[in-house]
Structure 1
Amino acid sequence: MLQTEFAFTLPMGYVDAEGNLHREGVMRLATALDEIAPLKDPRVRTNQAYLLMILLSRVITKLGTVEYINPKVIEALFAGDLAYLQDLYCRINQNGHDRVRTQCPHCEKEFDVQLSSAGG
């Protein structure tokens, strides 16, 4: 069965207007529309870097108790959390999973490590 949602824990966390910290979230696989629709947005047309804000706001389905995840929420993330989410997005949408292959430095055995729920 294809996994379409991936839980994550932000390294630092989103702080809302009331000062509440939100770290646990869920990101879903992106659709073609998720990647195409933001290109019509005037904010993206004037600043291509804004594409990431809109794209993440579309694919993050849960972030703590935040009711509605929009580009303003993504804009307010700490830079480390934004980088973490961008990396997670790339891993799950290019590889279909949130694991990375690594090797034990002692026995040299290779194994997979799931990173999305580990906060980086």
Structure 2
Amino acid sequence: MRRAGPGARTAAPANTAPPADAAPAAETAGAAAVPRAAVREPLRTEFEFELPRGFVDESGTVHRNGAMRLATARDELIPLRDVRVRENPAYLSVVLLGRVITRLGTLGSVHDGTVENMFASDLAFLQDFYRQINAEGHTRAAVACPHCEESFEVELAGSRLGES
């Protein structure tokens, strides 16, 4: 079936009932229609980010764009066995981030040694990003304009230091 454009309606073929989840006509008529329940999106497990400064590799290349996956219970438990973490609990975030960052620029792999050599501002950014995606499972929040009351989503994870 071809769609003519946004908001275009197509007639249902004869002898067919509307889908079970179709909104009643009263809900779809006019601009003052009551919004239906939001459709549930599939679980998102990986989130893109951009480091404020960037990781500089041994050849001098700066890597800023990357991705982080959601942490599992195992990701949070395994670092507790690490000798470096036992000696210095502050090292926990370095080992944990090394496990959940899936991509950083053109690097072949990301590990705790990579995170260990990042600038402090990038480490702070990644720690905050980790908390945001693992606390709620996403980095977006539904908000409403206080003036016009229109609802929309905002990105909580800014791509630059200081953004939110």
**Change in CA separation of 1:83 and 1:108 when aligned onto 2, cut-off 3 Å:** farther
Say if 1:6 and 1:116, in contact at 8 Å, map to a contact too: no
Gaps of 5+ in 1: none
Q: How does the TM-score come out when normalised to structure 2?
A: 0.66
Aligned counterpart, 1:72:
113
Say if 2:140 and 2:155, in contact at 8 Å, map to a contact too: yes
Which piece of structure 1 moves more, 69-78 or 108-117? 108-117
Cα offset, 1:114, TM superposition: 1.6
Q: When you count helix as a share of all residues, which structure comes out higher?
A: 1
Cα offset, 1:28, TM superposition: 0.1
Q: Does structure 1 residue 88 correspond to structure 2 residue 132?
A: no
Gaps of 5+ in 2: 1-41
Question: How many residues are paired up?
Answer: 119
Higher relative contact order (CA 8 A, sep 6+): 1
Say if 1:7 and 1:117, in contact at 8 Å, map to a contact too: no
Q: When you count strand as a share of all residues, which structure comes out higher?
A: 1
Q: How does the TM-score come out when normalised to structure 1?
A: 0.88
Question: Residue deviations 1:4-63, cap 9 Å, x none?
Answer: 000001111000010000000000000000000000000000000000011000000000
Aligned counterpart, 2:91:
50
**Change in CA separation of 1:118 and 1:107 when aligned onto 2, cut-off 3 Å:** farther
Aligned counterpart, 2:153:
112
RMSD: 2.0
Q: 80, 90, 100: which is aligned to 1:59?
A: 100
Say if 2:132 and 2:157, in contact at 8 Å, map to a contact too: no
Give runs of ≥4 in structure 1 deviating > 3 Å.
100-104, 106-112
Q: Does structure 1 residue 35 correspond to structure 2 residue 81?
A: no
Higher Rg: 2
Q: Which amino acid aligns with 1:29?
A: L
Distance 1:37 1:30 in 2: 12
